[in-house]
A and B are shown apart, each in its own frame.
Chain A
Amino acid sequence: RKEVEQDPGPFNVPEGATVAFNCTYSNSASQSFFWYRQDCRKEPKLLMSVYSSGNEDGRFTAQLNRASQYISLLIRDSKLSDSATYLCVHGWDKLIFGTGTRLQVFP
């Protein structure tokens, strides 16, 4: 079983839609979790950290459920510029990445 599992998608959604991605992790000792964004043929960039209490940054909301070993990312009011691959990540020195979920927002 992979340490981090994500639905690869693609998720095709219209502008303005709300979309949610989920991710499960196998290592119950994991402490730090993140969502990274990766545009096509570009490097990954940190989108947001994920905390047990849940955190929000503008249109983006991340949640962590330790009991179920589950992380989510919610994007509200999708923009064309949100089209990218979203990587679920855990770790604090070496990062463990999921395979990524591809989002395509269409007009």
Chain B
Amino acid sequence: GAGVSQTPSNKVTEKGKYVELRCDPISGHTALYWYRQSLGQGPEFLIYFQGTGAADDSGLPNDRFFAVRPEGSVSTLKIQRTERGDSAVYLCASSLGVGEGYEQYFGPGTRLTVT
């Protein structure tokens, strides 16, 4: 079956611009997670949704970052006034539920480069 998909696969933008990154979770998965991974580091948690609501957004670095999941399926991560330090691979994951025993399946990521 189809896995988690993310678009675009690559995004190059200029400092100060606004970007949107999209995630399509596995069909039927109620939980959706965003992580970002910088070079040489492990993924770092940003936010996760249970259904339409953000259950934990403690990893969002500042108020330039925002994410939505209006219908409980597709999610969009929005970054305003991008900075060079935002350059990273943004990974999305989904799971059937939340908690022990529910594996998170990752998408291929969006590589964001801020010039």
Contacts and interface: CB of A to CB of B under 8 A. Distances in A.
Interface of A: 4, 8, 31-32, 42-46, 87, 89, 91-100
Contacts of A8: 40
Interface string B28-68: 00010101000011111100100000011011000000000
Contacts of B31: 93
A43 B100 contact: no
Contact of A44 (B43, B98, B99, B100): B43
A43 B91 contact: yes
15 contacts: A4-B42, A8-B40, A31-B100, A44-B43, A87-B43, A89-B42, A92-B99, A92-B100, A93-B48, A93-B55, A93-B99, A95-B33, A95-B35, A99-B40, A99-B42
B25 interface: no
B42 to A, nearest CB: 3
Interface size classification for chain B? 20 to 34
Nearest to A4: B42
Contacts, number: 51
A interface SS class: loop
Nearest to A94: B45
A44 B106 contact: yes
A91 B48 CA distance: 13
A96 B45 contact: yes
Given A43-B106, A99-B42, A94 B100 contact: no
Contacts of B98: 92-93
B38 to A, nearest CB: 10
A97 B44 contact: yes
B91 A95 contact: no
Nearest to A6: B42
